[in-house]
C-alpha cells in the first residue's frame, strides 16, 4: 500500500476514534455542572451524588479523549508535513489558541474539580466544573475554526512564490460562515451524545429498580430525556441550516451525499439509491420529487447542481482531473447520520411521553430502545465527520491543496513507517476502547455511591 | 514590531514553553519513574500518584501548547521535526497515551495484577518520554541530515547515536532526581524517607551523565563555539545548581533542593535554545539547509496576532496554574483521602 493511503487510513482511524470521546465530554460536562449547581442551590445531597456519579463516567471518558487528542495535534506534522508547511501560517493559529485558551483551562480546572471536593468552598467547586464545560466547548470551537478553513478557506492570500497560504484577516477566519454552520451542529451533537448516555444508564437503573431510592435515576432520566429532546431538535435544525450553507460553499459535497448525477430543478431527494460510481448513473433509485430543492431553499423550486455539471465546472477552474469525492461513502454516511438522528428524536419523544406523566413502567420494547439508544449518537457523530471530510475530497484544503500533495514526502516518512504507526494505533485504540467500555459499564451499573465517601472507588 | 523581532519573540516563547514543560512535567515523569520502586504497598502507590494527581494533565498542556505554537509560528520547524523524527515521536505518543489513561484507570479495579499492570504503564509511559526528550534535543543541536527541501533524510536509527543516548540518559536521571525531590516535598513519613534516599542515590548518576554530556557537547556540536569561551551565566548556573542538590538534600532542605533541580532543568533547556539561536533545526549536510527562525517562520501578520493572544493568555495561565499548586499544597500520605 502506498504511504498516502496509509496516512489517510491513519487519519480516519485516529480522528473518528478521537471523536468517539469528545462529544460525550462536551455533553456530559455540562450535565455534571448542572447537577452540581442544583446541589449548591438546594443543598440536597442527591444532586451531589448524581454529580459525582456522572462525573466519574465523564472522567473515564475524558482520559481517552485527552490522549487521543494529543495524537491529532501532532499528526499533521507526522504524516502531513507538506500540508503543515502549506497552511501552518493559518491552520496552526487556532490549534495553538485552542491549547492556550481552552485546553489549559479544561485540564487545570478538571484537576481542581476532581481533587477539590473538600478543599474549596462549594460555589467555587461548582464553578470549576462550569469552567471545564465551557472550556471543552470552547476548545471545540477553535478546532472547528481550523477545520472550517479546510472546508471553506477565507481570510488568506497566496504567498508571492505561491508555496503557501498566508493569513491576512484573522477576523474573517473567526467569522467564517462555515464555522457558524458547523459549530452549532457539533455542539448540539455533543449535548445529544451526553443525553442518550444519560437516558440509557438511567433507564437501566429505573427499570431494574436498583438502589433503595428510585428518585435519583428518575430525575436523571427526566432531565436526560428533556436534554435529549432539546439536543436532537437543535442538532436537526443546525444540521439543516448547515447543509444549506454547504450547498453554497461545497455543492459537490451535497451532490455526492445525494447521489445527484445530473443537475435538477426542482431537485428530487433520494430515499434509496444504488448507483454506479464509475458511470455516474443510477442502477436503482427511489426519489421524492422536489424535496431536495425544498430542503435546500425552503421551497419546492430551485436548481441543485449535479455531480457531472460540477465536475465540468471544476475542470474549467482547476484544470483537468477528477473532482468527484467517493460517492457511495458520502451517500451512505449521510443517510446513516440522518437516520440515526431521526431515530433519536423519535426515542426522545417517546420516552418523554411517559416520563412527563411521571410514568416509569415503560413497555419492554421502549425500555430496550432507550437502553441501546446511546449507540445512535456515536453512529451519527462518526458518519457526520466521514461525510464532512470525504465529501471534500480530492481536496484537503478546498480549492487550494489536494490531499495527495499534502502527505509527508517519502524521503522523510516511508510507507513502512506509516504502516507501522497505523498498526500500533489500531492495537492501542482497540485495547483502550475495550478497557474504556468495561470501566464505564462497571461504574454506570454500580449506581450512586454513598455521600460520606469522597473517594472515587467502588 | 517588525518581522525579525516577532520571529525572535516567538523563538523565545517556544523556549519558554519547553522550559516550563520540562520543569513541570519533569517531576511528573520522575514521580512516574520512581512509582514501582519507591512504593510497594497499594495505598503507598496511590499516595505517590496522588501527589501529581491534580497537576499532571495541566502540566502536559505545556507540551500541547508548545507543539501548537511551533505549528503556528514556525510551520517548517513543526513539519520537519515531526515528519523527520517520525518513529521516535510515535513511540513518544504511545507512551503518553498509555501514561495518561493509566492514571485514570489504575485504581478503577481492585484486582492486584490490573493495578500492577498500570503501575508499570505509568513507569514506562514516564521513562520513555524522559529519555526521548533528551534524545530529540541532542539531535536538534547536533544536527541531522536535512536536505535542501527541509526534509529529514535519515532514519530512526540515525537518532540513536551515542551522543543523543547520553543526553537521553541525562534527561532520564535529572527528571528522576527532580521527581524524587518533589516527592520529599509532597509526602510524609516512610514515603518521604524513601524519596529522600532515592534522590540522594540518583543525584550521582545525574551529575555524572550531565558532565559527560557537557564534555561530549564540546566535541560533538558547535554549541560552545557559538556561546564563546565564556559561555555566560546560564550554563554555569545550571551545572552549579545540579551540584548543590546533594548538599541541600543532606541538610534536609527539600524546598531549596527542588528549586535547584528545577533551575538545572530550566537553565540547561535555555542553554540549548541559546546555542541553537537563530537556528531551529541544524542540517548536518549543509549549513545552508539549516532551518532558522527566518526561513521557517509564519508571516508577520500571523506572528503579530499570535503575540497578542500569547501576551494576554500566558500570564493568565500562569496565575491559575500557580493557584492550583497553592490549593493542593498539602502533603499526601497513605492515610489521606486518595482520588486516583
At A59, is the pLDDT very low, low, confident or very high (cuts 50, 70, 90)?
very high
Nearest CA-CA partner of A418 in A131, A88, A13: A13
pLDDT given at position B160: 92
At B228, is the pLDDT very low, low, confident or very high (cuts 50, 70, 90)?
low
A290: left (phi over 0), alpha (psi -120 to 50) or beta: left
Is the Cβ of A73 closer than 8 Å to some Cβ of chain B?
yes
**Residue B238 pLDDT exceeds 60:** yes
Nearest CA-CA partner of A196 in A223, A172, A171: A223
Q: What is the distance between the terminal CA atoms of chain B, rounded to a whole angstrom?
A: 47
Long-range pairs for A131-136: beta carbons < 8 A, 24 or more residues apart: A131/A105, A131/A106, A132/A29, A132/A33, A132/A105, A132/A106, A133/A29, A133/A30, A133/A32, A133/A33, A135/A102, A135/A103, A135/A105, A135/A106, A135/A109, A136/A25, A136/A26, A136/A29, A136/A102, A136/A106
Report DSSP state, residue B289: G
**Residue A458 pLDDT exceeds 80:** no
pLDDT given at position B26: 95
Report whether B195 contacts B183 (CB < 8 A): yes
Helix axes A215-249 and A45-79, enclosed angle (nearest 10): 30
Chain A residues inside the 8 Å CB shell of B64: 70, 73, 99, 103
Is A107 in contact with B83 (Cβ distance < 8 A)?
no
Report whether B11 contacts B273 (CB < 8 A): yes
**Residue A457 pLDDT exceeds 70:** no
- Nearest 5°: phi and psi at A433? -60, -45
In B248-326, beta strands by DSSP E: 279-281, 291-292
Q: How far apart are CA B310 and CA B40, in angstroms?
A: 43
Q: What number of other Cβ atoms are within 10 A of residue A399's Cβ? A: 14
Per-residue pLDDT averaged across B151-179, rounded? 93
**Centroid of chain to Cα B331:** 24
**Residue A18 pLDDT exceeds 70:** yes
Report whether A57 contacts A444 (CB < 8 A): yes
Chain B residues inside the 8 Å CB shell of A164: 75
Is A84 in contact with B147 (Cβ distance < 8 A)?
no
Work out the minimum CA distance from B321 to partner chain A, whole angstroms: 7
Per-residue pLDDT averaged across A393-416, rounded? 92
Q: How far apart are CA A207 and CA A378, in angstroms?
A: 24
pLDDT given at position A297: 83
Name which of B175-179, B236-240, B281-285 the model is least confident about: B236-240
Beta-bridge mates of residue A269? A288
Q: Where are the alpha helices (DSSP H) in B112-153?
A: 112-142
Work out the minimum CA distance from B4 to partner chain A, whole angstroms: 16
Work out the minimum CA distance from B210 to partner chain A, whole angstroms: 30
- Nearest 5°: phi and psi at A457? -100, 155
- Nearest 5°: phi and psi at A177? -55, -30
User: What percent of chain B is modeled with pLDDT above 90?
Assistant: 71
Q: Cell triple for residue B297?
A: 517562520
pLDDT given at position B229: 60
pLDDT given at position A232: 94
Cell 447537577, residue located: A35
Name which of A68-77, A205-214, B71-80 the model is least confident about: A205-214
Q: How far apart are CA B307 and CA A363, in angstroms?
A: 60
**Residue B117 pLDDT exceeds 60:** yes
**Residue A334 pLDDT exceeds 70:** yes
**Residue A252 pLDDT exceeds 90:** yes
**Residue A452 pLDDT exceeds 80:** no
Chain A residues inside the 8 Å CB shell of B98: 428
Q: How far apart are CA B96 and CA A68, in angstroms?
A: 10
Work out the minimum CA distance from A423 to partner chain B, whole angstroms: 11
Q: How far apart are CA A411 and CA A419, in angstroms?
A: 15
Mean pLDDT rounded to a whole number for chain A: 91
Is B301 in contact with A166 (Cβ distance < 8 A)?
yes
Is B71 in contact with A100 (Cβ distance < 8 A)?
no
> A411: exposed, middle or buried (C-beta count within 10 Å: 0-12, 13-18, 19+)?
middle
With CA atoms as reference, the chain A residue closest to B306 would be: A93
Beta-bridge mates of residue A284? A274
pLDDT given at position B240: 87
A249-to-A253, A281, A308, A315 alpha-carbon distances in Å:
9, 24, 17, 17
Mean pLDDT rounded to a whole number for chain B: 91
Nearest CA-CA partner of B281 in B14, B17, B24: B14
pLDDT given at position A262: 87
Q: Which of residues 404-433 of A touch B (CB under 8 A)?
A: 408-409, 411-413, 417, 420-421, 424, 428, 432
Q: Most B CBs within 10 Å: which of A87, A92, A106, A432, as the mutation test of the B interface?
A: A92
Work out the minimum CA distance from B329 to partner chain A, whole angstroms: 11
pLDDT given at position A62: 92
Question: Coil, strand or helix: which one is B21?
Answer: helix
User: What percent of chain A is modeled with pLDDT above 70?
Assistant: 98
Is A412 in contact with B153 (Cβ distance < 8 A)?
yes
**Residue A260 pLDDT exceeds 70:** yes
Q: Cell triple for residue A420?
A: 507501522
pLDDT given at position B63: 93
Report whether A23 contacts A344 (CB < 8 A): no
* Element spanning A285, H or E: strand A281-288
Q: How far apart are CA B281 and CA B284, in angstroms?
A: 10
Q: What pTM does this model have?
A: 0.92
Give ipTM to 2 decimals.
0.91
pLDDT given at position B297: 93
Higher pLDDT, B339 or A305: A305
**For chain A, counts of helices (H) and of strands (E):** 15, 6
C-alpha dihedral, B186 to B187 to B188 to B194, nearest 10°: -120
- Nearest 5°: phi and psi at B148? -70, -15
**Residue A146 pLDDT exceeds 70:** yes
**Residue B286 pLDDT exceeds 70:** yes
**Residue A454 pLDDT exceeds 70:** no
pLDDT given at position A410: 87
Nearest CA-CA partner of B179 in B40, B268, B64, B49: B49
Q: Which domains are delineated in chain B?
A: 3-327 (1.20.1630.10)
Is B69 in contact with A101 (Cβ distance < 8 A)?
no
pLDDT given at position A455: 52
Per-residue pLDDT averaged across B9-34, rounded? 95
pLDDT given at position A385: 94
Helix axes A177-208 and A3-42, enclosed angle (nearest 10): 60
Per-residue pLDDT averaged across B208-231, rounded? 79
pLDDT given at position A166: 93
Work out the minimum CA distance from A308 to partner chain B, whole angstroms: 37
pLDDT given at position B81: 95
Q: How far apart are CA A355 and CA B55, in angstroms?
A: 42
Amino acid at each position: 500500500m502506498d504511504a498516502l493511503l496509509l496516512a489517510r487510513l491513519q487519519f480516519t482511524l485516529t480522528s473518528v476514534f478521537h471523536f468517539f470521546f469528545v462529544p460525550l465530554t462536551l455533553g456530559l460536562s455540562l450535565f455534571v455542572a448542572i447537577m452540581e449547581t442544583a446541589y449548591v442551590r438546594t443543598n440536597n445531597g442527591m444532586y451531589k451524588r448524581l454529580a459525582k456519579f456522572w462525573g466519574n463516567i465523564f472522567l473515564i471518558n475524558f482520559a481517552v479523549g485527552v490522549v487521543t487528542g494529543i495524537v491529532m495535534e501532532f499528526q499533521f506534522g507526522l504524516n502531513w508535513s507538506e500540508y503543515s508547511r502549506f497552511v501552518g501560517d493559518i491552520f496552526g493559529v487556532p490549534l495553538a489558541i485552542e491549547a492556550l485558551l481552552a485546553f489549559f483551562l479544561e485540564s487545570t480546572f478538571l484537576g481542581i474539580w476532581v481533587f477539590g471536593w473538600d478543599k474549596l468552598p462549594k460555589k467555587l467547586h461548582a464553578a470549576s466544573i462550569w469552567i471545564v464545560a465551557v472550556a471543552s466547548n470552547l476548545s471545540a470551537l477553535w478546532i472547528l475554526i481550523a477545520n472550517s478553513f479546510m472546508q471553506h478557506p477565507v481570510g488568506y492570500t497566496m504567498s508571492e512564490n505561491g508555496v503557501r497560504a498566508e493569513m491576512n484577516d484573522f477576523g474573517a477566519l473567526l467569522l467564517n460562515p462555515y464555522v457558524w454552520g458547523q459549530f452549532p451542529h457539533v455542539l448540539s451533537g455533543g449535548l445529544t451524545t451526553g443525553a442518550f448516555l444519560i437516558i440509557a444508564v438511567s433507564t437501566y437503573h429505573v427499570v431494574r429498580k436498583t438502589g433503595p431510592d428510585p428518585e435519583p435515576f428518575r430525575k436523571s432520566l427526566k432531565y436526560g430525556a428533556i436534554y435529549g429532546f432539546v439536543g436532537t431538535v437543535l442538532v436537526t435544525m443546525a444540521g439543516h441550516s448547515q447543509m444549506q450553507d454547504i450547498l453554497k460553499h461545497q455543492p459537490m459535497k451535497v451532490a455526492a451525499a445525494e447521489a445527484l448525477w445530473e443537475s435538477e430543478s426542482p431537485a428530487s431527494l433520494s430515499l434509496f439509491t444504488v448507483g454506479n460510481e464509475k458511470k455516474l448513473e443510477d442502477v436503482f433509485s427511489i426519489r421524492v420529487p422536489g424535496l431536495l430543492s425544498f430542503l435546500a431553499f425552503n421551497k419546492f423550486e430551485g436548481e441543485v447542481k449535479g455531480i457531472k455539471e460540477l465536475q465540468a465546472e471544476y475542470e474549467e477552474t482547476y484544470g483537468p482531473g477528477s473532482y468527484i469525492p467517493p460517492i457511495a461513502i458520502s451517500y451512505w454516511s449521510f443517510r446513516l447520520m440522518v437516520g440515526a438522528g431521526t431515530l433519536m428524536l423519535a426515542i426522545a419523544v417517546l420516552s418523554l411521553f411517559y416520563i412527563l406523566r411521571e410514568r416509569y413502567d415503560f413497555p419492554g420494547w421502549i425500555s430496550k430502545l432507550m437502553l441501546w439508544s446511546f449507540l445512535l449518537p456515536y453512529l451519527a457523530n462518526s458518519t457526520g465527520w466521514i461525510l464532512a471530510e470525504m465529501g471534500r475530497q480530492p481536496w484537503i484544503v478546498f480549492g487550494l491543496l489536494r490531499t495527495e500533495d499534502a502527505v509527508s514526502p517519502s524521503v522523510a516518512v516511508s510507507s513502512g513507517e506509516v504502516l507501522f504507526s497505523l498498526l500500533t494505533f489500531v492495537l492501542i485504540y482497540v485495547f483502550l476502547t475495550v478497557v474504556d467500555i468495561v470501566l464505564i459499564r462497571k461504574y454506570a451499573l454500580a449506581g450512586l455511591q454513598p455521600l460520606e465517601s469522597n473517594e472515587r472507588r467502588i | 514590531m517588525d518581522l525579525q523581532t516577532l520571529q525572535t519573540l516567538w523563538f523565545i516563547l517556544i523556549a519558554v514553553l519547553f522550559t516550563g514543560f520540562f520543569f513541570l512535567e519533569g517531576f511528573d515523569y520522575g514521580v512516574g519513574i520512581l512509582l514501582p520502586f519507591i512504593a510497594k504497598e497499594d495505598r503507598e502507590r496511590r499516595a505517590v500518584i496522588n501527589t501529581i494527581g491534580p497537576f499532571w494533565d495541566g502540566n502536559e498542556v505545556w507540551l500541547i501548547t508548545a507543539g501548537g505554537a511551533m505549528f503556528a509560528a514556525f510551520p517548517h520547524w513543526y513539519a520537519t521535526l515531526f515528519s523527520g523524527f517520525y518513529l521516535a515521536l510515535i513511540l513518544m505518543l504511545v507512551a503518553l497515551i498509555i501514561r495518561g489513561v493509566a492514571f485514570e484507570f489504575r485504581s478503577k479495579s481492585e484486582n492486584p495484577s490490573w493495578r500492577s499492570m498500570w503501575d508499570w504503564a505509568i513507569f514506562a509511559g514516564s521513562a520513555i518520554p524522559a529519555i526521548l526528550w533528551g534524545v530529540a534535543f541532542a539531535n536538534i543541536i547536533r544536527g541531522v541530515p536535512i536536505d535542501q527541501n527541509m526534509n529529514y533524510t535519515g532514519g530512526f536509527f540515525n537518532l540513536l547515536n551515542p551522543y543523543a543516548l547520553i543526553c537521553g540518559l541525562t534527561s532520564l536521571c535529572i527528571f528522576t532526581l527532580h521527581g524524587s525531590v518533589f516527592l520529599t516535598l509532597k509526602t510524609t513519613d516512610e514515603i518521604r524517607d524513601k524519596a529522600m534516599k532515592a534522590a540522594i542515590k540518583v543525584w550521582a548518576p545525574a551529575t555524572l551523565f550531565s558532565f559527560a554530556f557537557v564534555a561530549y557537547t564540546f566535541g560533538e556540536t558547535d554549541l560552545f563555539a557559538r556561546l564563546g569561551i565564556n559561555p555566560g551565566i546560564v550554563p554555569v548556573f545550571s551545572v552549579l545548581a545540579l551540584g548543590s542538590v546533594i548538599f541541600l538534600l543532606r541538610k534536609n532542605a527539600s524546598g531549596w533542593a527542588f528549586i535547584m533541580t528545577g533551575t538545572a532543568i530550566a537553565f540547561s533547556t535555555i542553554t540549548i535554545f541559546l546555542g541553537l539561536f537563530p537556528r531551529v533545526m541544524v542540517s548536518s549536510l549543509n549549513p545552508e539547509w539549516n532551518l532558522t527562525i527566518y526561513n521557517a517562520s509564519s508571516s508577520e501578520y500571523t506572528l503579530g496576532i499570535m503575540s497578542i493572544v500569547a501576551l494576554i493568555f500566558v500570564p493568565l495561565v500562569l496565575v491559575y496554574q500557580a493557584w492550583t499548586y497553592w490549593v493542593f499544597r498539602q502533603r499526601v500520605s497513605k492515610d489521606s483521602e486518595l482520588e486516583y
